[in-house]
Amino acid sequence: MSFFDIFQFDFFVRAFEAGLLLSIIAPLIGMFLVVRRYSLFADALSHVSLLGVALALMLKIPVLLGTLFTALLAAFGIERLRMGGRVFGEAVIALFLSSSLALSVVLLGLGGNVNANLLSYLFGSLTTVTVLDVVLLLLLFIGVSFFLLFFYRELFLFSLDEDLAAVSGVRTRLINGIFVALAAVCVAAVLQIVGALLVGALLVVPVLAAMQWRMSFRRTLFLAIFFSFLSVNIGFFAAYFFDIASGGTIVICTVLFFLGSFFAHRRI
């Protein structure tokens, strides 16, 4: 089978389209998470989304609906507790991360749904990408693009210093609310492609790789997208030809780009 013959399969075309969108969306959101020192937020949402998978399987509803609901609920719950000041941000994330994972295991065990299909939600799978996933990623891409286009300055200032942004007249609650909602939808949308255990890495590691070159914020963002684009595409093709999990392969590629950037910059 030649390289281009794989595009005769509908599932791979869907996965390829989703991957292209994902490779742009993930760094756009991950960049601001890293700058805010909120990288574990994506990990917490991914584990909460796994709880959404468990609930969807028990209630026999679409998995995407379950992951979207739980991810959005958790995102606003984390922000509500964090902004309340009674629990530190890192502790709130740890609380949601550990409790949701524990609940997922219990619910999946009670429902008898611990099977091979669960592996695709944990580590990602090319064959599980649906047309609905691609449409959701396209809508998310449009939403993130318009959000950054109109609120780039406000989000940039908010990410650097939340108090300074508030003093400067930025509507911090509105900006933060939209941003965490987009992050939650992103995690839920890519769950079946990358897997719950690896979503956070895809959002964060390409950004860390780009940061090693110590360029301006905007150039770092574009470089992160470039690293993410290469990682997703190399990971997809390698996962198909070697019959391995797409999520793990993609994340390994991002880590290799990080290591390459880290050591290359040290020699410059």
pLDDT digits (tens, 9 = 90+) for 26-38: 999 999 999 998 8
- What is the distance between the alpha carbons of residues 58 and 40, in angstroms, rounded to a whole number? 28
The lowest-confidence range among 146-160, 184-198, 246-260 is 184-198
The whole-number pLDDT of residue 217 equals: 93
Q: Where in the chain does DSSP place strands (E)? A: none
| 123: three-class secondary structure by DSSP | helix
pTM to 2 decimals? Answer: 0.91
**Residue-range domain boundaries for the chain:** 7-260
Per residue in 9-68, pLDDT tens?
888 888 889 889 999 999 999 999 999 988 889 889 988 998 898 888 888 888 888 999
- What is the distance between the alpha carbons of residues 206 and 256, in angstroms, rounded to a whole number? 10
The whole-number pLDDT of residue 219 equals: 95
- 90 contact partners, CB below 8 Å, separation of at least 6: 40
Contact 183, 31 (CB under 8 A): no
- 169 contact partners, CB below 8 Å, separation of at least 6: none
- What is the distance between the alpha carbons of residues 221 and 148, in angstroms, rounded to a whole number? 12
Sign (positive or negative) of CA dihedral 139, 140, 143, 145: negative
| CATH architecture group of domain 7-260 | Orthogonal Bundle (1.10)
pLDDT of 116 above 50: no
Question: Could you give phi then psi for residue 195, rounded to 5 degrees?
Answer: 100, 145
